[in-house]
Structure 1
Amino acid sequence: MAYATAVAGKPVSRPLAQAEHTVLASPLVSPVAVPPVDRSAMDGYAVRGPGPWRLVGHVAATSRTPPELAEGEACSITTGAAVPAGATSVVRDEDARLTGQLLHGPGEPGRHIRRAGEECAAGEQLLPAGVLVDPPVLGVAASVGLNRLTVVPQPRVAAIVTGDELVHRGPSGPGRVRDAIGPMLPGLITRAGAVALPVTHLPDDRTALVDALLAADGELILVSGSSASGPADHLRPALSAIGAQLIIDGVACRPGHPQALARFADGRLVVGLPGNPFAALAAFLTLGVAVIRRMRGLSLPALTVAPVPGGLPCHPRSTRLVHVRVTAQGAVPLGHGGSAMLRGVAAADALAVVDPGPAAAIAARLLPLDPGARPWGV
C-alpha cells in the first residue's frame, strides 16, 4: 500500500554532471552510430592485404581524413584512430617486426578493427526507462554524444525527531536518552537514493510538530518518536489538525507496529516511525523505502528466501522482523533483538521477514539492511 500511495517525481532534464543517482524517465537512445567510423582497437599498424607491407605513414587519433592504403601498404596507427580506407586489419605493436620500411606480422582480416556501428546504430535503444543512472550509464550517455538526460529526480526527505528526553551529546542517564535515530536517518535516506534534508529536533509538543510539518520542504517527511498512542505521541492529532489523510494507521509487524503513512492535500507524504531505534529502522526499511522507490520511479524488488537453521519462532498474528547474519548455511539470527536495541542489528546483514503462524519458520525472506543494496540472489 505504501508503494501504491506514492507517486513518481515529475521528469526533468539534467546535465550529465547532475544526473547521477536519478532514474531514467525515458529510454536512452543513441542519436548516432558508435563508433561513427571504423577505428583501430590497438596501437600498431593498419595494413591492407597479406604481408609483408611497406610502411607509408602514420594515423593519429586526431586524424580526420586518413590516407587510403594500397595493396601491400601499412601505416602506423594509435588506438581509437580512424582506420584508413582499404585497411583489412591492424597488426598490434607487440606482434610487429620492422625491417627498415618493411613490416612483418600477422594480418588476419578484420583483426583489431572496431567497425562503424559495432556498439550501436543511430536510433538504437541502449537502456529502457527505469534504469538507475550510475557512472557507467553516464559514460554510455557521453559516448553517444548526449549532454543531458531526462530523469526522475531524487526525492527530498525531511526528518523530524521528537522527544523531551532526547540528548545529542554524551551518554543516556536518568531522564536522558541519547538520540540514536537522528544520526541514523540521513545515511538511511541517502542509501535509499533520496536527498536527506537537515534533521529537525523537537520537544514533545503538538503545536511545534504541526508547525514543523507545515514548514518541511521535502516531498517526504519522516517523523520519529510521536507515532504511538501515548500522552507524548502527537503525530496523529497533528496530522488531523493539518487535514492530512491517514492511509496506514499501524502495521502488524514486530518491531515497528506503530508506524503510519499520511498524505497532505498537496501530495507530500508523511511516514511515522516509532521512537525505539530498531523499530524505527524496521519501519523505514518497510514503509519508508517503499515510498522512496516509488517516488524515484523504481519497482520493488522481490526478496530472496533463505533457510533458517534451527527455525525462527513465529508470532501468531504479526510479521516478525529478525536481524540475521547471512551465511552459507542460511540466515542465522543474532542476539540483542529488542525494539530499543541496535547492537545486534549493527552486526547483521538483513532482516528476516517471518510470517505469522503457529510454528517456527524454517525459511524466511531477506530484507537487506542497506536500503541501496540488491536482495541476495538478484
Structure 2
Amino acid sequence: MKNPTAPVRVGIIGLSARGGWAAQAHLPALRRLPGFEVRALSASSAASARAAGEKYGVPLAFGSAGELVRSDKVDLVVVSVKVPLHREAVLAAIGAGKAVLSEWPLGNGVAEAEELAAAAADAGVRTFTGLQARTSPVVRYLRDLVADGYVGEVLSTSLVASGRGWGAEYRPGVEYVLDRANGATMLTVPFGHTIDAFAMVLGEFTGLSAVTATRRRTVHEEGTGRPAPMTAADQIAVSGQLASGAVASVHFRGGLSRGTDFHWEINGTDGDLVVTGDSGHLQQAVLTVRGARGDASRLAELPVPGRYYDTPALGDVLDRAPYNVGAQYAGVLADLTEGTAAVPDFAHAARRQRLLAGIERAAATGERVTAT
C-alpha cells in the first residue's frame, strides 16, 4: 500500500505534442486531481519527447517507454498508445515492478490480454484498465436505480448506438482503426466500453448469438477524400440472455445516424428507463436519463443527483472527456493508498476481452456461445 501523504508520481507513455487522447483527457484530469503529479512522459523518439515535455511542462521526457518505466521518479505508468503497442509497453512496466494503467482494450486480442493479466499477477503489481464508462455519474445512477427496484424485475433491455467512427469517412491520423488486425475496432473500443458499463448495470450475459458485418469495404478520409480499405466490422448485433434471466439485444452501427445515436431502454415489471445520448462511446457521451413507473404513462427526465458528481476537483470539466477519466483516477488513488480494488484491473480486462472474442466466435460460426 502506498504512503497516502506522498503524491503518486505518474509517467505517461504516449503523451504527444501533436495531441491525442493522453493530451485531451489524461493530462487535464491528472492535473486537476490532488494526490497526483505528472512527472514523466515518453514518446516515439527523444526529439518528440522533448517537444511534448516543453509543451506540457513535464520535467522528465524520455525517448522510449523502457527508459520511463526504469525511472525511480515514476510510481504509476500510464500506457496511452495505439493498441498494437500496448503489449510491449505494459510488459516493460510490469518488468520494472511499477503499477500500471493501460488504456482499453488491454491487448490486441484476447490472447494478449490474458498474457498481460497473467504477467501482472505473477509479478504482484497493481494494475488498472481504462474502462471509465463505469465511472460516469449517469451510469452509476442508472445502476442504482435498477438495483433499488425502480423498474422492478428487469424483463428485457435493448440498446442501439452509433460508433461515430467506422462510417463513410475517417478522421486523418486514425486510419489504423479501419484494419481489424490492429485491434482498435468498433467492437473493441466503443462497443467494449459500453458493454462493460451495460454489464455493470444489468449483469453479465450467460449466452449470446451475434452477427457482425463490414458493410462499407472502402471509406474515405475527411477533407481529402482519399480512399482506404476497411476490414473492421461496422455492424454488430448481439442478442442473448443475462444472468438475471432478462433478454438483451445490442446493435452498434458505424458512423452517425440521422435518427438516434444512443438509445438504451430497460423494461421491467414495474417501470421503464430510457437513456439517450450523442454517440455509442458511452465513456464520453453526454447522456440523459428518463423513466416512468407505476401508474405514470409518460417518461419524465430523472436528473442525476449531485452525490454522483463526487470528484469536486473536476467540476469545470463536467460532460467533457477528462471527467470520467479523472473520476477513474480518483478511484486509482484510493486503491493505491487504501488497498481497495474498485477500479477494473487486468484480470477484469481479460474477462471483458473474452466476451468480445465470444461475440466474434458466435458471428463467425452462427452458433450460440456461452459467455465467460
Asked if TM exceeds 0.5, the reply is: no
The structure having more radius of gyration, on CA atoms, is 1
Bigger share in helix: 2
Greater RCO (Cα-Cα under 8 Å, separation 6 or more):
2
TM-score normalised by L of structure 1: 0.30
TM-score normalised by L of structure 2: 0.30
Bigger share in strand: 1
